[in-house]
Every structure is written in C-alpha cells, then in structure tokens.
Amino acid sequence: MSQSISSPKAEQVVSVDVSQAKALLQSGHQYLDVRTQEEFKRGHCQATKIVNIPYMVNTPQGGRGKNQDFLEQVSSLLNPADDILVGCQSGARSLNATTELLAAGYKKVRNVGGGYMAWVDHSFPINKEEPSAN
C-alpha cells in the first residue's frame, strides 16, 4: 500500500518578480510586508490591500529576533484562502515567512523576489509615512 500524502515540507515556495507582483496587486492580491515597522514607515510599495507584520523584531539586547507572534498576527488579519504576496527589503525574510505560512496551511502565498529594493529599482509607486514636520 503506497501513500500519496505529501507533508507540508514538500510545499515549494513560489517566488514572483516585482513586475509580476505589481500586476497581481492590481488584480486584488493582499500584500504582507514583513519588514520592521520602521522600515515600512520609511517607504513601502503602493497597494490597496497592504498589511505590515514584522517577521523579525528588535530585541532588548539590540539585535533582531524572530517575531514569536508572527503566525497569530497574520491569522488575525489574513485568511489562509487569500491570495497573498509576501515581501521584505530584499527577499530573504519574506522567503522564510512564506515557507512558514505554507507550513501553517496558507495555500496561496508567494514570495516577492528582490523585495522592496527591487520595487524601488523599477521605479514603481511607493508610499511613505513621513513624520509630519511641525
């Protein structure tokens, strides 16, 4: 008797380039920016459905560690059935986050290869949340 059940680890991360990501965002995909809040406020891709949930957070020791509440925070805002693009600064954190989301049952998540830096390199529209000068 053979088994054809695949384990979650068998899920392959699908990466899209920023041109594909831009088209997918225009067709209604969610964008999950996994950079820190500080990075997000300095600038992020323009998307109608965008959320910022850091994958790595600053630690009291001054470094960065994994956000232990990442999956819980994502599941409070996004549905496992949603079409989700996961992006970060260069594509490394988002690759890890996408892998974790696939293992947690999110079926339609894709990594944005090159991340925000590639988005800027293509001169695609960005939003900045600059502090107001009083």
Q: Which of 5-9, 22-26, 91-95, 128-132 is predicted with the least confidence, judged by mean pLDDT?
A: 5-9
Please report whether residue 21 resides in a domain.
yes
Please report whether residue 5 resides in a domain.
no
Query: Above 60 in pLDDT, residue 6?
Result: no
What's the total number of domains in the chain?
A: 1
pLDDT band at 11; cut points 50, 70, 90: low
Contact at 8 Å (CB) between 90 and 117? yes
* Mean pLDDT within 11-24: 94
Please report whether residue 81 resides in a domain.
yes
Strands, E, within 1-134: which ranges? 15-16, 30-33, 44-45, 50-52, 56-58, 64-66, 84-87, 109-112, 126-127
For residue 3, the SS3 value is: coil
* Mean pLDDT within 23-27: 96
- The Cα angle at residue 30 between residues 122 and 111, in degrees rounded to 5: 60
Domain that holds residue 42: 12-127
* Whole-number average pLDDT of the chain: 90
Task: Give the residue numbers annotated as catalytic, written as ranges.
Answer: 88
Proportion of the chain above pLDDT 90, given as a percent? 81
CATH number at residue 83: 3.40.250.10
Please report whether residue 3 resides in a domain.
no
DSSP letter for 133, please.
Answer: P
Query: Above 50 in pLDDT, residue 7?
Result: no
